[in-house]
Amino acid sequence: MKSSFELAMERLNKTAPAVKLSAAQKREITELESRSTAKIAEREIALNAEISKVADDPEQVSALREQLARDRRKIQSDLEAQKERVRQTGA
């Protein structure tokens, strides 16, 4: 007898089967993820330096933290779009 999890996974695979990626696609996605991580780290370093300069002004600190959060979301969104293009078009 199958568990409810196994049954749910079977239904999911029928409606949206998993996409098999080639080795080249996997390498490209890994490279995209690496670049994205580097971009986020770069933004964190730059904005954390700015935050330390204005540490006595809570409004500016808050604004810079919001900027960092927006930058992270943008980079992640771009990454997901690029990964989807790789999955759809191939490497």
Whether the per-residue pLDDT at 10 is higher than 90: the answer is: no
Locate 54 and state its tokens.
């204005």
Residue the block writes with tokens 């992640």:
76
Q: What is the per-residue pLDDT for 13?
A: 75
Whether the per-residue pLDDT at 82 is higher than 90: the answer is: yes
Confidence of residue 17 (pLDDT cuts 50, 70, 90): low
pLDDT tens track for 70-80: 999 999 999 99
pLDDT tens track for 43-74: 999 999 999 999 999 999 999 999 999 999 99
Whether the per-residue pLDDT at 91 is higher than 70: the answer is: no
Q: What's the pTM? A: 0.74
Q: Domain segments of the chain: what residues? A: 22-89
Kindly write down the DSSP assignment for every residue of 60-75, as one continuous string.
Answer: HHHHHHHHHHHHHHHH
Q: Which residues contact 85 (CB under 8 A, 6 or more apart)?
A: none
Radius of gyration of the chain (CA): 20
Around Cβ 86, how many Cβ atoms within 10 Å? 19
